[in-house]
C-alpha cells in the first residue's frame, strides 16, 4: 500500500511547475498502477492549451471556476466543483481559470514524470 | 470529450449505494479511458473492509477524516484531505470514516458498473 499526502509533497520534488500551473505527482508510472494521478493547480486568470496525443486524461474539478473549450468543435463547458472532463478523443483543448482551479487528474498511460509539454501542447509517448 | 457533473449525477442511475457508502460513477469501462473514476462518499461512523483482488485502486481524500488499516501489516494511516492511498498490492484493508469521507477513486482495470462486492470484499474480474 502506498500512502502519500499532497500537503507534504507540494513543496518537494514531486511538485512540478510550468507557465502558471503546478502539478503534484501523487502516482507515476513507476508505482505500477497502470495510471498516474496528479493534483494540479492552475493560477487565477491563466489560460492553457493542451493536446495529449498519446495519453487519455480525466480531470475532476475540486475547487475554483473556469471553462474548457474543445478546439475541434468550438464548444465551451463551464468548469466548477463537481465537473469532470475526460479527453477520450485526445481532444485538443483550452482551459481557462477564472478563479484558481484545483483539479484531480488521471492519465493513461501513466506519466513517467520525465515528460515535458512539447510545442504542440502534447506529452511525448511514454516510451520516447 | 466527455463532460459530466457530479452534482447532476448524484441522484441518478450512476450513483450506486451499498452499506453506508454511495459512489457516483463518473467514468466506467465503456468510456474507453482504460481506467474508471468515481466519487465515493462514506458515512460518518462507518467501517468498510475491501479487498480488490483483481483491480488496482487509488483513493484521494477530498473531505472528511478517518483512517485506513492495511490488514497484511496491521499498520494504520490517518485519512484527511490531501491524503491518497493506492492499493498497489491489491491490499486488503479496513477504512473507517470518523467524519463523512468524500473520496476521488481510480480503478484499473476500469469498473464496468455491473460488479458487486463479493463476500470477501473483492470485485470479480472484469471479464467474469
ipTM given for this complex: 0.92
Among residues B2, B23, B110, B59, the alpha carbon closest in space to that of A83 is found at B2
Residue-wise pLDDT tens digits, B40-57: 999 999 999 999 889 999
Average pLDDT, chain A: 93
Inter-chain residue contact A88 with B6, CB threshold 8 Å:
no
Please report the pLDDT score of residue B119 as a whole number.
Answer: 67
> What is the DSSP-derived secondary structure letter of residue A117?
-
Boundaries of every domain in chain A: 15-108
Which residue from B35, B62, B91 is facing A108, i.e. has the nearest CB? B35
Please name the residue of chain A whose CA is at the shortest distance from the CA of residue B106: A106
- Stretch B22-39: mean pLDDT: 97
> What is the DSSP-derived secondary structure letter of residue A72?
T
Among residues A53, A69, A63, the alpha carbon closest in space to that of A101 is found at A63
pLDDT at A126 over 70: no
pLDDT at B22 over 60: yes
Inter-chain residue contact B91 with A1, CB threshold 8 Å:
yes
Question: Collapsing DSSP states into helix, strand and coil, what is residue A7?
Answer: helix
C-alpha cell at B105: 477513486
Which fold is adopted by the domain A15-108? Jelly Rolls (2.60.120)
Confidence of residue A124 (pLDDT cuts 50, 70, 90): confident
Residue-wise pLDDT tens digits, B62-101: 999 999 999 999 999 999 999 999 999 999 999 999 999 9
Amino acid at each position: 500500500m502506498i500512502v502519500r499526502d499532497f500537503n507534504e509533497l507540494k513543496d518537494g520534488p514531486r511538485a512540478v511547475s510550468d507557465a502558471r500551473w503546478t502539478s503534484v505527482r501523487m502516482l507515476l508510472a513507476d508505482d505500477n498502477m497502470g495510471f498516474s494521478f496528479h493534483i494540479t493547480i492552475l493560477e487565477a486568470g491563466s489560460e492553457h492549451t493542451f493536446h495529449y496525443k498519446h495519453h487519455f486524461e480525466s480531470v475532476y474539478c475540486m475547487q475554483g471556476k473556469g471553462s474548457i473549450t474543445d478546439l475541434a468543435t468550438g464548444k465551451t463547458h463551464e468548469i466548477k466543483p463537481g465537473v469532470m472532463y475526460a479527453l477520450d478523443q485526445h481532444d485538443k483543448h483550452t482551459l481557462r481559470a477564472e478563479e484558481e482551479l484545483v483539479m484531480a487528474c488521471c492519465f493513461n498511460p501513466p506519466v513517467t514524470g520525465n515528460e515535458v509539454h512539447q510545442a504542440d501542447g502534447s506529452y511525448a509517448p511514454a516510451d520516447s
